[in-house]
Amino acid sequence: MIALFSDTHELHAPAFEFFRGERVPCFETPARAAFVKKSLQQAGHALRQPHVDSRAVLAQIHSARYLAFLENAWSDWLALAPGNAGLQPFPSVWPVRTLRSDREPANFVARLGLYSMDNGSPLSAGTWAAAKAGADAAASAAALLGEGARAVFCCSRPPGHHAGADFMGGYCFLNNAAVAAQALRNSGRARVAVLDVDYHHGNGTQSIFYDRSDVLFVSLHGDPHTEYPFYLGHADETGEGAGLGFNLNLPLAAGSSAGAWFDALEQGCLRISQFGAEALVVSLGLDTFEDDPISTFALKLADFRRLGQKLAALGLPTVFVLEGGYAAEALGTNAVEVLDGFDQGA
């Protein structure tokens, strides 16, 4: 399978984050993509550079003022004070209920809060470049499907599925899965399905396509009653307006077995088949692994090959986009199992 990889991801390398109120080393690190790249090479998958500029598609997915903020955030942070180059900016105030979000403040930290859903997505000097490279990979993958590729894997980071039209969060800045889906629509695919198998609900992807009937969003994830992102991902969220009936959430209790997870996957795949999708985008979160440090599902190595085989059975041109997965050393092996299972089942 073709795999898209850019060393630019290494430029996003914040030193720490806040987890359950404590300052801790980042879970989302450059080592994640490095382990996946190594496993891809060992398994014989062809690595290519992204070749499509995603700016036009990004403008269809994200608001103009959010993109401008994100692209200039680090330079704005440096301009704020002489010592900021050695510091990481975090938001400290958010425009929650009754506060206005239509006016962009001049204060940098206030703007950071305006565009953040949490304080767990640290910026660094290369965040924009790394995120943009991931979006370029997603747009490139869609283009390769248009040229006849059966499937393409985007080995990119930071992840993207928590990023909404005008906000970042959950380590995500630009929504790569949404970029891939929109690029596929732009190329003439009438109906595109996005399947999110990350442990955490892809709230950003859901919100971007929630009122659309041309992109079906299906997600199986930890129940938001107890699991991040908490405020989206419930089963009663089925779309609105033209999109009513085109959003399917399959939340599972923390600690659910692999059997329960695959039962949910079966429901999701059935809905994709009923939808009549012409292409599939998979938000490939691998934090469902039994040894993941911040998740509680129990999938084993063999389960990831089974996942790939199940996805291949849908018979659709497919873009895989790397999302979560924080057992870094196992991440590459798990990713390759999915891709090899897909190739085996195709």
Distance CA 94, CA 101 (A): 9
Distance CA 109, CA 181 (A): 32
Distance CA 109, CA 96 (A): 15
Catalytic residue of the set 162, 200, 201, 221: 162
Distance CA 251, CA 265 (A): 11
Residue 301 and residue 288 in contact, taking contact as beta carbons nearer than 8 Å: no
Residue 124: Cβ within 10 Å count = 17
| Bond into 317 cis (ω within 30) | no
Q: Which structure tokens are listed for 294?
A: 């911040």
The string of DSSP letters for 78-131 reads HHH-GGGGGS---------TTS--SSPPSSHHHHHHHTBS-S-----TTHHHHH
Residue 163 and residue 175 in contact, taking contact as beta carbons nearer than 8 Å: yes
Would you call 162 a catalytic residue per the annotation? yes
Active site (catalytic) residues: 162
